[in-house]
Amino acid sequence: MDFERPLVELEGKLGELRRSELAETPELSAEIESLAREIESLRLTTYENLSPWDRVQIARHPERPKTQHYLEALFTDVVELHGDRAFGDDDAVVGGLATLQGRKVAVLGHRKGTNTNENIERHFGSPTPEGFRKAMRVMRLADKFGLPLVTFLDTPGAYAGPEAEERGQAWAIADSLALLSDLRVPVVCVGVGEGGSGGALAIGFGDRLLILENAYYSVSSPEACASIIYRDAGQAQNAAGRLKLTADDVFGLGIADEVLPEPLGGAHHDPQAVFDTVGSAVARALDELAVVPPDTLVEERYQKLRSIGEVCQTP
């Protein structure tokens, strides 16, 4: 990533010095120690002063853990469901039944690819109407059998191709959100990467929203916002700074309930630590919600949604 370039260059130089045949000599050894201290200082400075656009880049890092990795690390007895019973199967959405630390749950998430071909096939994690309708199948099963629902958010937005519009993209998103808001089971959503527009919102509203510190959640991706507001997608960095999309922003606005820490530099630097953090946070949220009556869950979910964006009038 652009903001990491000075750090990467110094780390490369340090690696060369350490591989040198003279690395053990007093002169070079002192230089290596000095450079190592400089790198550590720069690392702290770099990652403790990230801009919103920097965090968007981290959220999109190709090595960042994806929904399927969380499924593998945190859940057992995973039974994936396929198809929307109407048109086809969208691989950009994964959903099914699973077990989390002894709890039977339903699970949903956006699924990006791990290579170029998979990303093209999955529209880089952007669901089509079939994906949202598959998600609704999972939601209805969760409601029918009284299973808590856990969702993972990682999408730049819903797929915007003409074929998606022809098959009712807007209706699918609206129906999914309406169904999600009315479920009589606990719903815990986890922002693990990108959280763009209706593509994220359609499976991203519930009783708890947990978000990793370098994930984002926004009414629009920065590029889409820049195209609309500035008529120039190249203004995405400027748009990111104005969208209030970072984890801290959405927590401060009352949209997210908890910001989950990541290793310095992002989740891809220590995936197991992040899996442990997310697993513990989801389990804790499910325990808290398990004692809440279904009618109360639905009402409090509604009131939470209504309270977002309230403006306090000064007497």
pLDDT computed for residue 310 by the predictor = 66
Q: Is residue 15 part of a domain?
A: yes
pLDDT tens profile 80-128: 999 989 899 999 999 999 999 999 999 999 999 988 999 999 999 999 9
Q: Is residue 271 part of a domain?
A: yes
Q: Are 84 and 175 in contact (CB under 8 A)?
A: no
Spatial CA neighbour of 109 closest among 155, 152, 63: 152
63 shares a domain with 13: no
pLDDT computed for residue 242 by the predictor = 92
| pLDDT band for position 34 (cuts 50, 70, 90) | confident
pLDDT tens profile 244-286: 999 999 999 889 999 999 998 899 989 999 999 999 999 999 9
* Number of compact structural domains in the chain: 2
Q: Does the model's pTM come out above 0.85?
A: yes
123 shares a domain with 79: yes
45 shares a domain with 142: no
141 shares a domain with 32: no
66 shares a domain with 42: no
**Rounded to 5 degrees, what are φ and ψ at 208?**
-140, 135
278 shares a domain with 135: yes
216 shares a domain with 167: yes
Residue 10's domain comprises: 2-49
126 shares a domain with 15: no
CB neighbour class for 131 (10 Å; exposed up to 12, middle 13-18, buried from 19)? buried
94 shares a domain with 23: no
198 shares a domain with 153: yes
45 shares a domain with 61: no
Q: 308 or 294, which is more confident? A: 294
Q: Is residue 82 part of a domain?
A: yes
Q: Is residue 314 part of a domain?
A: no
CB neighbour class for 174 (10 Å; exposed up to 12, middle 13-18, buried from 19)? middle
Buried b / exposed e along 69-100 (16+ C-beta atoms within 10 A): bbbeebbeeeeebeebeeebebbbbbbbbbeb
Spatial CA neighbour of 197 closest among 231, 167, 228, 168: 228
107: left (phi over 0), alpha (psi -120 to 50) or beta: beta
3-state SS class at 290 = helix
CATH code of the domain in which 277 resides: 3.90.226.10
20 shares a domain with 163: no
| pLDDT band for position 1 (cuts 50, 70, 90) | low
Q: Is the pLDDT of residue 311 over 70?
A: no
